[in-house]
A = this chain, B = another copy of it.
Amino acid sequence: VSPLSSPAPRGEFDLIARIRERTPEAAHVLRGIGDDAAVLAPGAPVPTLVTVDLLMEGVDFTLPPATPRLVGRKALAVNLSDVAAMAGVPRSAVVALCLPKSWSEGAVLELHAGLAELAAEFDTAVVGGDTNAWDGPLVLSVTVLGECTSHGPVLRSGALPGDWILATGAFGGSIGGRHLTFMPRVREALAIHAAAGDALHAAIDVSDGLAADLHHLLEESGVGAIVDADAVPIHPDAVSASARDGRTPLEHALSDGEDFELLLAASPEAGRRLLANPPCAAPLTRIGEFVAGSGCLLRAADGSRSPLPPLGWVHPVGGTAAR
């Protein structure tokens, strides 16, 4: 929508019509793509979750090695990971696009297909969007709405001293390709929450980096943490990355980011039960414990402790002051 550019010979409307045709109906969508707003039926009286993530070509992915299909997938997946970090159920998504004018309609439909496939896998309805083209690179912004379960949301702010730090999966080296293909831990979070109930105190997903996101959780909860260096699950991709750049696999695991695994705070009793009877197929590991105070320490095998700063991606905004 713009009065500042002259009309182009081809509109977005044909494309939207094609996307609309390819969008399955969903019981809770009273009106999806094609009106001024989507209309969603009232659901159960549980809290609504809302999360948005924006991806930029050249920053969050490059084409290649990414493909339009993988980029569409990732744009939804990062949002589903946020819903997982609240132990919520994703329900609906809207998609805003800046498409490079050079893109073919086929490329746009590939992007949509990647997003739609993952949406279908997680019973999430694509209910609307805004499609634009420009001379710049690809930008995608996806907003996901979800619902809490009857157990309520799991916030970042609930970790208590003494709680165990649990992690799903393994960490490091996602830049090798996993950042495009990871499976958001929606089902795992729901299974863990159902098993632990109120003893699951806090959760965050790892996008910025294990250490950085753990620090976010610590700040919101007002606690500190000790991480056992030997306990951090190292992804094989971190070993590969280490072989390339000489940084240790552990450094990669602690700082690379975009693992989209969950860090969880659970009472020791719940932690023990979860590890004894894992409620999900994904590996679940105790990587340390929350303590009174603030900040984070890394505990070596010999028991020695050193500060673990919020290593990881720091979003470049502004640029005036040093961190």
Contacts and interface: CB of A to CB of B under 8 A. Distances in A.
Interface of A: 1-5, 7-15, 30-31, 34-42, 44-54, 56, 58-62, 78, 82-83, 85-86, 88, 92, 94-99, 101, 103-105, 108, 127-137, 139, 141, 143-146, 148, 153, 155-157, 174-175, 179, 203-205, 207-208, 220, 256-258, 312-323
B10 A318 contact: yes
Number of copies: 2
A312 to B, nearest CB: 8
Contacts of A61: 4
Contact of A1 (B45, B46, B137, B313): B313
Contacts of A7: 312-314, 316
B59 A134 contact: yes
Nearest to A58: B134
Given A1-B208, A39-B49, A54-B132, 11 more contacts: A3-B313, A5-B59, A8-B316, A12-B315, A31-B155, A36-B51, A37-B83, A37-B153, A39-B86, A53-B96, A131-B317
A48 to B, nearest CB: 4
B54 A11 contact: no
Contacts of A96: 52-54, 96, 141, 143
| Most chain B Cβ neighbours within 10 Å, of A11, A144, A155 | A11
A244 to B, nearest CB: 13
